Structure 1
Amino acid sequence: MEAIVSEHAPAAIGPYSQGIVTENLLFTSGQLPIDPRSGEMPQGIAAQAEQSCINVGNLLDEAGSGYERVVKTTCYLADMNDFPQFNEVYARYFTSNPARSCVAVKELPTGALCEIECIAVRDA
């Protein structure tokens, strides 16, 4: 197994890796909508969904994969009423329509409104 670390995604805020590669699969940790340069989180669900998608993309790039190679995502929302706006942003990035679960949770770390994790194929 190989840990994936990218300075273009938020650093882990606990005892975990940003991503792990095993053979030809990448498993990302949930990507919060934190701008890795500033450490700040944008306001509003659309801006947060955008940042979470960008952070996932940066981990995909670091691991030698891409959005089109994502096979499964799990999306977490702090409020299911945000689903339409979240979905609109998500659809611009995950155009290959990977399998997906989307659930509402009571709370996300750092007060985020969303978080995205994925499983993707990459060249072994």
Structure 2
Amino acid sequence: MSPAAPNPPMFSRVGEIVWTGGHLPRLPDGTVPATFAEQVTLVLAKVARTLESAGSGVDRLVKVNAYLSDIDNLPEFNDIYYGFLAGHPLPPRTSVEVTRFRDASMLEIEVVAHSN
């Protein structure tokens, strides 16, 4: 049996730029919320916490990549996403459908942000 791989860091910084890894909608106990809306809300909150821990914030986003298990969920994603970023500059975003995730996740988000 091979040893478990270490968890990679959730972000890296080069100068004033922060790159995050992909954020999945897993709760601390490893479960995944049942609805797409709950998953989007959880992932966006996790992204915000990661950016804050990196000395940045959602107001400093410069690029967002959203991977959805079903592109037909894009209108619902947009409703939640734009509400989450209300009052902040909107960064460029890529939204694509992916074939599958390894669990019940319906999306994954990674971002790039400025730290100052």
Which TM-score applies when normalising by structure 1?
Answer: 0.82
Q: Give the residue type in structure 1 aligned to 2:115.
A: R
Instruction: Please report how far the alpha carbon of residue 14 of structure 1 lies from its aligned counterpart in structure 2 after TM superposition.
Output: 5.9
Any idea what the Cα deviations from partners look like across 1:59-82, whole Å, max 9, x if unmatched? 011011110100000000000111
C-alpha distance in 1, partners of 2:83/2:59? Answer: 11
Aligned length in residues: 110
Of 33, 36, 58, which aligns to 2:49?
A: 58
C-alpha distance in 2, partners of 1:54/1:16? Answer: 19
C-alpha distance in 1, partners of 2:18/2:103? Answer: 25
Q: Judging changes above 3 Å, is the alpha-carbon distance between structure 1 residues 49 and 101 closer, same or farther for their aligned structure 2 residues?
A: same
Cα RMSD between the aligned structures?
1.5
Q: Give the residue type in structure 1 aligned to 2:72.
A: N
Structure 2, gaps ≥5 residues long: none
Tell me which residue corresponds to 2:114: 121
Instruction: Please report how far the alpha carbon of residue 39 of structure 1 lies from its aligned counterpart in structure 2 after TM superposition.
Output: 2.7
C-alpha distance in 2, partners of 1:122/1:24? Answer: 5
Spell out the pairing of 1:77-96 with structure 2 (5 A cutoff). 77-95=68-86, 96=89
Q: Tell me, what secondary structure is at the counterpart of 2:38?
A: helix
Structure 1, gaps ≥5 residues long: 1-12
Q: Tell me, what secondary structure is at the counterpart of 1:111?
A: coil
Instruction: Please report how far the alpha carbon of residue 43 of structure 1 lies from its aligned counterpart in structure 2 after TM superposition.
Output: 1.0
Q: Tell me, what secondary structure is at the counterpart of 1:65?
A: coil
The answer to which structure, 1 or 2, has the higher relative contact order (CA under 8 A, 6+ apart) is 2
Tell me which residue corresponds to 2:14: 22
Larger Rg: 2
C-alpha distance in 2, partners of 1:51/1:109? Answer: 18
Of 85, 103, 124, which aligns to 2:96?
A: 103
User: Are the equivalent residues in 2 in contact too, given 1:45–1:113 (CA < 8 A)?
Assistant: yes
